[in-house]
Structure 1
Amino acid sequence: MSKHIEIKKITVNSIRKMKSAGERISCLTAYDFTSASILDKAGIDMILVGDSLGMVVNGYENTLPVTLDEIIYHCRSVKRGAQNAFLIADMPFGTYHVSDEQAVENCIKVIKETGFDAVKLEGGAERAALVKKLTACGINVMGHIGLMPQMVSTMGGYRIQGREGHEKLLADAKALEEAGAFSIVLEGTVTSVAKTITENLKIPTIGIGAGVHCDGQVLVFHDVFGIFDGFTPKFVKQYANVSKIISKAAKSYIKEVKTAQFPEDKHSF
């Protein structure tokens, strides 16, 4: 008789309860079946298919060229690998900026074609009306304020937020909460400001470069595991250096092929 394996799928209610119980929320990005499966089996709470895939997967200079079709493709792959984690799709630049009608249509397309649990949008109070429309359609929305990579050109570069204008950040967070967002990413934000925002919201904050006081943390898969050789931000802790392991193994493989050490008899038929 086969054993019944209970799948404890994390839902938006699970995320809300974590905030209420003071349980920290773990989140990492993933972009394919294999990495999603590894994270899911490890017990990650949330997986974000971020537009960071533009740089760490596709080699773009920044996140701006990422298309809706690219996000959908990677989301589908992640969905097949993750059974338990709460899944969030990052809406790319230009897919929710022209009009609320365009945004609703694109977000519905993502949810329908990927089976994901939520979408993520950058922006504060200016996105509140859109967030309200999306939640009215039955779509869970994660907000994103502080440093917003899609707005980096108008923000004057990758600058830490909250040293000035921290009142606006709090107002943005409150506006998103009131509009129905289930959580908010705080990126590149001064720790003390992130703490104040977190303490003043009923919904969880997920920090990335925003200090320890957020309700949860998110980082990019390739940064955490040392796969991406590009610039590593200060806020990233590297838990492994997989790039070096793969490089060493690849050199061994190349050497053995060149010297006819591989394949041996045990690898042959």
Structure 2
Amino acid sequence: MSTAPSVRVAQRFHYPDDEHALKRLGSRTTMTAIQLLDLLHAGRAIWLTNAERNLKRRGHVLVYSESDCAWFVVVVAIDDPAGGAAIVTVLEQAQFENDFRKPIDKSYLFRAMASVVKPDVANDWRKANMPPNRKDRRAARLRAGTVDSGALLDHDVVIFKVDYRATGTDVVMRTEFNVTRGYPAVAAFDDLKECLGNDAFLQWFGASLVRAGVPIDRVLAIKAARGQEPLVTLATEDSFATAPVQAA
């Protein structure tokens, strides 16, 4: 089976005069001859094998039939130099897999289905039959993060966000600290801006920045939020001269 199946929109398909393909189409699917041609000509199909790489010049094209809720493999023969393809027969998925002694890759099944059905239907099938993709994993992490942060966001939890320029690139980066875990006394400050006037806190915070790899002399802003309250800017680059953050 080809390792790089593709959708060939420009291919011209037709039925031979012997009607064998039409009979197999009618006995194995509920699709009409026109519906199958429409799928193929619209490029809503996946080439599983390359007809130009075998002596018989035959290829196998995967399609999904929404009316059957099933996949079929169309066997085609390249029958003219311009690339026209005659539809030889139509196989059920199991027939093709039995002939090749190998299941069709689920990513190909998904791509064929997704070109025909509504996105939510295709995605529901993918999530039920395929490993999570990067988007799924990110959404799961976000959901987990929402649960974790929701359990922690009481009034005593203080989160600091530090913007700084990365060394050597000047790209603006951001790192975050749950200050309450490392310096519980921060919760006692009525106004979080008072933190930057406290020598003990500044020493602890400076050491935390160093451990996180943040270049203190390149910090642009320090912001903080208590619980679910809005984010407050505690200091900017211009104010560090009067309240410098110190490394321990």
Pair in the same fold by TM > 0.5:
no
Q: TM-score range by the shorter chain?
A: under 0.3
Higher relative contact order (CA closer than 8 Å, sequence separation 6+): 1
Task: Give the alignment's TM-score, normalised by structure 1.
Answer: 0.25
Q: Highest CA radius of gyration, 1 or 2? A: 2
Structure whose residues are more often strand by fraction: 2
Task: Give the alignment's TM-score, normalised by structure 2.
Answer: 0.27
